[in-house]
Structure 1
Amino acid sequence: MELAVPLCLLLLAVAAQPQSSGYRGHFFSRWMRPNRNVNHLGIIRRTRVNNVPGFRTSYLRHGGYRPYYSGQERYQVRLVGGANSRQGNVEVLVNDWRRFLRGWRSVCDIGWTQAHAVAVCKQLGFPGAATPTSNGRFGYRGTGVGTSVSHCQVGQHGLRACFHQGLGNTGECSVNNLAGVICGADTSTPFNGPISVRLRGGSLQGDVQVKYERTGWGPVCGDGFGLKEATVVCRQLGFDAAVRSYLSGRDAGGPFILGEVECKSTEKNLGSCRSRRGRSVRCPGNRYSGAAVQCSNRDRSPLPDLVIDAAELQSSAVVEGQPMGSLTCAMDENCLSSSAYKIREREPATYKTRIRKLFRFTNKVQNRGKADYRPRRDPSAWQWHSCHKHYHSEESFSEYDLVRPGTNTKVAQGHKASFCLEDSECTRGITPKYRCRPSMRGNRFPQGIRAGCADIYGSYIDCQWIDVTDVPSGTYDLRVRVNADRVVPESDFSNNQVLCRVELDVRREKISVTNCRNTPL
């Protein structure tokens, strides 16, 4: 009896420690396969806020640190900056963690899809066709003083569960990463001929000017002009790639003659991109809102080039069942489909015994470029993850989707994986430069992928999967992307995606993955 009390206290102390189920950089080596039968516990306190009619807001607080915003079940939305009520940048009305309305916030365009646009337009009373826009196409006027929401989900009543963590925390999103919509068809069109381009103010960097038909040289509106459009301009001028696009800040010197430019980045000439043209095109900003670019010369300004190892992905694929009790950290990362969270809410006492079917695979990302791949976000904005004891420098480095063959129709909820970037292996003669290591909160070690090295996310690591629990067995396409939103410039985006054919049998936990190949984004 004397030994029983100390023994019980010891067991309780061990159980109270936050643990990891295979996250990179925890105290155990990331290459050691974790015991998936362990019930991983975390110190989590949950509160509910129900202070506004029509809103239900959840917040999580990890280990006594600052609370972060987990999701709002329903938002009021509005459009700003458009020429009419059917178009504009999207803003949502959010609550803060102190139970007050914080106000209108812009929406980040990273991961912004047509499904989001359709949901917003439907909520605003414009059902039917909808077109998503990005890069602040309707101006960079923001009401949130540097804040935005991101990673919004599509719900029955519109946008829901957007991520938000207070003033100034926008993740990879900068002031020009503003999402918008056009409720209806986009009336911009490609030009029926070539458009000449030049840079005003420099050879590698300057304001974009164009000339077409009988017009003279004129400026281009910079609202909505992003890295894809800059890539087309730079390659048309004979450079390797674009380093960045930005608003000029200089007087355009005349009316804009090209606006609402939208490219895929694979076009050979700006005339092949969608745009609006005329002697005076509407620009939501002002005469200082002209498009400007900085181009890359391979010798003078080298860039990274990320490539997914298709063979490694194909050979590592597996489907397995795992109890929800071992997926605590993964659930906090939103790595499971929505049905898992409904089960947790509906069955709080028994949900940990429920099984999720996970389609796992290894994602090996090589940097074959001439420069290191470095996170865009400033280290002060990196996200601390208490489960695996390190910072994530990228919130959506990789995207995993299971779609119907030959279409863009998702059959499983898309998953955007956040990562701590490091050099897992390097070619002979190159020393690893970046390492993810266990650390105390506040210690931000450098992250990235060195040129000539690769970052490997093993199939056993948490969130390195697609939750296929609710997916019918059948034939699908697997689509894996890295840096899909082009938040970091690269010399080549034609190899940032892998497509595979998948034969899936969920009930028997069998899978066949074939024909994996690299394709353009």
Structure 2
Amino acid sequence: MECGSKKSVTSTDMLKVICSEFVRLENGTSSCSGRVEVKSNHLWVSVCEDNFDQRDAEVVCRELGCGAPLVLQGALYGDVQAQMWPKEFHCEGSESALIDCGSSGSNRNTCSPDRTVGLTCSEPNDVRLVGGTSHCTGRLEMKYQGDWRPVDGTYWNRKSSSVVCRQLDCGSAVSTEMTSDFTHEPVWLIHAFCVGSESSVRECGTKQSFTSTNRLEVLCSAAHVTSNVITTTVTVVLLVMLFIIIIIIILYRLRVNRKASRGQSVGEMTAEMVSINSLEQEAEEVNLMSSLTSLVSGRQ
């Protein structure tokens, strides 16, 4: 079956993959980027940028299940000498499909190769990792039509996790683990068999509504970097505090010695010594905290 870009729709209990039969993005780096083509008389034809504007782009990105349009530019994804779409689109921007938009005849039956529409949509924000120490580690959840659910990873591979990490700008996948929380709740059962080069998981899998206790935990490489940065920052702050306290102690001792040489009373000197001892004790506590932080960092 010949079809354009894929999108998902719901049936009674299954999310099926169907095709947009009127518009597609061709020759791009993902299903959300490429040269705009529409189907005319069973043939895919290009669109001239003079017949296509920002509102039209918003509708195409929405129809293909992508995010908002990022770049709209002629010949962005290659030149073509093929037949051109003979009409100008007049979308309002709120339509769910390009075919629902109005159109009018155009005198441009031909279009120079550098004027064919190229469109880049943002990737959809449809995956997240929750419950971890950062957004780069935790339980994998996916969203469809506003519904966030955990993912059952029964039909999941390691390369699919790598796609998730890259989609979240979290580097590569370090580990993937199936867990169970012993409570049945709605999940997405994902049949994902990515090869690793996809820009989003939805390009290499299908979703099925399911009830399960299984959960998928993913750890991305950027999570280690974030943890190390936090640990290093805390260690530096503690060392700076320790340095400041030591300087204060030295200045206090110098002051006590000067007052002692001037014949200061015993009571006043005793009060000064109590203050110094308190500062020394605080310095020891800060030093201990710094040591513990360094030890934890070393174990990580």
Same fold (TM over 0.5): no
* TM-score, normalization by structure 1: 0.18
Structure with higher helix content: 2
